[in-house]
Structure 1
């Protein structure tokens, strides 16, 4: 290696050494290591004359009694209260539910028949308006609630109270949304995912009732869905053409609903369902929708289907329509329902169409 090359290497090394040394000194002088810093000036406000700074203290003693005020205090010092948002979310919606109609389950509270024979189907059935007397009765069941918070809130706010709302078990904040729906006057149901003929290409979700599972496995899936919220009068299907046509699975499913004081309503999409037959055999209140009103999800088409449902109710005395919670469907139902009573018809909750009346 010639002298010129050696000198170049030495020069490069010196430059690197100086750079490292400078960086070290810069960081060492800066306790924040070169991070961006903003200095805020804190100004103390005037002290309140009626309070003294007593620090933080618990609100109650270990035996549950209020802790006495510190010496010399006439007003309790401010306490810091920390709430668990998850526990609040579970506890808040249950205030208007009957604890006698629930029991502990593997995934949360499950509906049960009360000690006095009361059932959820009767206790949570929405009342029928006195104006419905002497009119043809129309029940509308809107499914898919809970999957979209905005669509669910729109349905709760804009649909007449006579419309029943069915909540899928997969949404967030289901207990709160279900509580709000009931307090707005809506009767609610659980929409249970069930196996269609083209499963698994068409998969309703991870807790779907399947013909390939035994009764205990399907019961566990049903219990998981049942525990997601409370206050529902019964269960409706989500898909399920294959499952509803299978004797063993469908009978076990409907018997579980019957033993827990619920009713069952189908969306009317499957003509091979065994629910009507099994329901009669085991004494379970059961019904099927006469038509799906938003097969074509356009406002004009939905409105025409609703007019057909109204005409059917006029001929038969009553009719049940099923719909999905699409914004266009909600708008169409809300507009159609205006002036319905003047046309000689009345909206009633699904429980009334099935023959269950509130207690």
Structure 2
């Protein structure tokens, strides 16, 4: 499905996020779970999370295709979790590969993850810093009517900036939930996302199907409403943000 920034959505994204210096009236959060397709038990637990979770599936996993179909049937947004250097494997993008090979690997990865509405990078701290490759990628995604989520695994990423230049529907990750795999740390990161959402109007979180992450999310996600948070589907977040960079990623809405 194509993601189109309508005039209404663009107008909404241009509205001030604060009123009289106070926190935004409405705060939005979107959640992506990465690294899926490896384990049916972990995949099923992520699928069962109570809300509009986006499921990012790796192409080089044994259950990628079956789980993508299952997630789509359940009404969830599916993303291709595209391996990028320093990630390795048959689908991984590397800076030394010609564009023809990058295209071939993208085609093959999308075949492994049917119903993908967009992509985000798996690792990719080196690859997402490559302007030529990222420029080609965003143009190709635009042609295919797919969106981009820049996981921002490096401060040197240019993926979101290249997407913004051509008006490709895109987002950037704000908070990683589980770099530290303890319940206390993950709960703390979730609350950091809540605070950030109240401060800037929205926050995009990425987590992984670790048992401890699932335990925290199963317990805490139902409490978001009481904290003034509207947990929304990823394409809704794209429309709300209107391709504008948040303050942590750029200045005056422009990615740096």
Q: TM-score range by the shorter chain?
A: 0.7 to 0.9
Q: Does 1:193 align with 2:83?
A: yes
| In the alignment, structure 1 residue 310 sits paired with structure 2 residue 194 | yes
Q: Does 1:167 align with 2:57?
A: yes
Q: 1:351 is matched with which residue: 235, 238, 245? A: 235
Give the aligned partner of residue 155 of structure 1: 46
Residue 223 of structure 2 aligns to a residue in which SS?
coil
- CA deviation profile, 1:218-263 (whole Å, cap 9, x unmatched): 1000100011132221000001111111111111122111110001
Matched, 1:215 2:99: yes
- The residue number in structure 2 matching 1:137 is 28
SS of match in other structure, 2:116: coil
Q: Is the 8 A contact 2:85 2:95 kept in 1?
A: yes
CA distance in 1, matches of 2:53, 2:229: 14
The CA distance in 2 between the partners of 1:356 and 1:220, in whole Å, is: 33
Q: Which of 220, 224, 227 is the equivalent residue of 2:108?
A: 224
The structure having more radius of gyration, on CA atoms, is 1
Q: Matches of 1:271 and 1:298 in 2, distance apart?
A: 25
The partner residue of 1:183 within 73, 84, 90 is 73
The equivalent residue for 2:225 is 341
Match of 2:135? 251
Q: Which stretches in structure 2 are left out of the alignment for 5+ residues?
A: 5-24, 242-256
Q: 1:217-296 maps to which residues of 2 (within 5 A)?
A: 217-296=101-180
Give the structure 2 partner of residue 325 of structure 1: 209
Q: Could you tell me how far 1:268 is from its partner in structure 2?
A: 2.4
| Cα distance per residue 1:119-162 (max 9 Å; x no partner) | 4447xxxxxxxxxxx631001111011012211011112x1231
Structure 1 gaps of 5+ residues are 1-118, 123-133, 197-202
Give the whole-Å Cα distance in 2 for the aligned partners of 1:266 and 1:276. Answer: 6
- Partner Cα separation in structure 1 for residue 36 and residue 3 of structure 2: 19
Is the 1:293–1:321 Cα contact (8 Å) retained in structure 2? yes
> Is the 2:149–2:160 contact (alpha carbons within 8 Å) kept by the matching residues of 1?
no
1:342 deviation in Å? 1.9
Give the aligned partner of residue 89 of structure 1. Answer: none
How many pairs does the alignment contain? 221
Task: Check whether the contact 1:235–1:263 (CA below 8 A) recurs between aligned residues.
Answer: yes
Whether the 8 Å CA contact 1:233–1:351 is kept in 2: the answer is no
| Contact 2:60/2:90, CA 8 A, preserved across alignment | no
The structure in which a higher percent of residues are strand is: 2
1: CA distance, partners of 2:149 / 2:217: 20
Q: Name the SS of the counterpart of 2:88 in structure 1.
A: coil
Work out whether residues 169 and 225 of structure 1, in 8 Å CA contact, stay in contact via their aligned partners in 2: yes
The CA distance in 1 between the partners of 2:217 and 2:88, in whole Å, is 26
What RMSD in Å do the two structures reach over aligned CA positions?
Answer: 1.8
**Corresponding residue for 1:301?**
185
The TM-score, its normalising length taken from structure 1, stands at 0.59
- Alpha-carbon separation, structure 2, partners of 1:195 and 1:353: 27
